[in-house]
Chains A and B, each alone.
Chain A
Amino acid sequence: MECVVRPCRAEDCVEVMRMIRELAEFEKLPDQVQINDQVLREDGFANDPFYRCLVAEVPPEYRSRDGHTIVGYGLYFFTYSTWKGRNIYMEDLYIMPEFRGIDLEENRMNLGSPGICTPNYAGKGIGKKLMSKIAEIGVENRCIEMKFVVLDWNQAAIDFYQSQGAVDLTAAEGWHFFHFKGDALVRLAQGQTGL
């Protein structure tokens, strides 16, 4: 099966937004999606875009059960480390479940459970192709590292990333993610932190 990985175009934002919602469902956090395809389009296609995106597209004869030909996406942006310089950050990597586990080289389907890559098929499919393209973009732009986050229960993803050489910095170095969100951010800006 052919699959083309290409930069997302403005008109692809509707499809990417659909898949963003599917990924949120998979991560068991669907109520947290607050943007829509219009915001995605404005933020990704301005003069200085806030993110970049690749999409995975299949020919019409391989379209999904619901008729989609855009079957995966990889959303990334450039970040910076004070010690090492440019990094590439892979924010989202998603393939529709019915397109996972496809061995693109041999053109065979993995008939195992959707969303799980069996060892024979891991690293040969669309997810790997998307991730490799992001890695290539990182190397071309003199990035020293790629970073991303994974939920601690997503063992299939953790296993796959570790097979590609990824290191868990939370386990190895104790890094935790923090945020100031919504009201907490507003109070901080107004100097009202109750101290």
Chain B
Amino acid sequence: MEINVYLCMYFFQELAKYEDMEDQVVLTEKDLLEDGFGEHPFYHCLVAEVPEEQWTAEGHLIVGFAMYYFTYDPWIGKLLYLEDFFVMSEFRGLGIGSEILKNLSQVALKCRCSSMHFIVAEWNEPSIKFYKRRGASDLSSEEGWRLFKIDKEHLLKMATEE
């Protein structure tokens, strides 16, 4: 479990580098362990492993992962939300990403989810093509949904205002 968490941390940082947002990673391995393997898991993770003869030069046997959790749409019920999805660059184009997505969709259907949701940056053309080729639709373009966030400082202000 600890090895997996360490590897997950490595991947989260790799994904942040790919998305050019490295300085935004503030999570630690301790947080990941507590939040993923405590009484109420906040996330679930699937990993893609290769046999020893295909380990990377650095000795990695886990070459891809997907991190997901369950959310809720009051119109259609349970959803599977894909938070992160990453395959190491030297292992792309081999069908590993497709296999991970296939596994995830099977988890979604088994848990009676109507849909699998995720976000993609609009500049990320390879990912957009990857998902659209497999039947995904862009709800932001089609229906006008915009994602907003409120940071902790403003949450605190809202929570403590009289």
Contact = CB atoms under 8 A, between A and B. Distances in A.
Contacts of B31: 85
Interface string B53-91: 000000000000001011111111110010110000000
B147 A169 contact: yes
Nearest to B113: A185
Interface stretch (A58-66, A95-103, A110-118, A158-166): A158-166
A115 B76 CA distance: 25
A185 B109 contact: yes
A24 B106 CA distance: 29
Interface residues of B, number: 74
Contacts of B143: 29, 151
A120 B146 CA distance: 26
Interface of A: 20, 24, 29, 32-35, 39-40, 43, 48, 50-51, 75, 77-86, 89, 91-92, 131-132, 135-136, 138-139, 143-153, 158, 161, 164-171, 173-189, 191, 193, 195
A132 B158 CA distance: 5
Nearest to B9: A82
A50 B72 contact: yes
A83 B12 contact: yes
B136 to A, nearest CB: 5
Contacts of B114: 34, 181-182, 185
B149 A166 contact: yes
The SS class assigned to the B binding surface is mixed
B155 A82 contact: no
A176 B154 CA distance: 24
Contacts of A150: 145-146, 148
Interface of B: 12, 15-16, 21, 24-27, 31, 35, 40, 42-43, 67, 69-78, 81, 83-84, 98, 101-102, 105-106, 108-109, 113-123, 131, 133-141, 143-161
A179 B115 contact: yes
B35 A35 contact: no
Contacts of B117: 177-179
A121 B11 CA distance: 47
Nearest to B146: A170
A165 B156 CA distance: 11
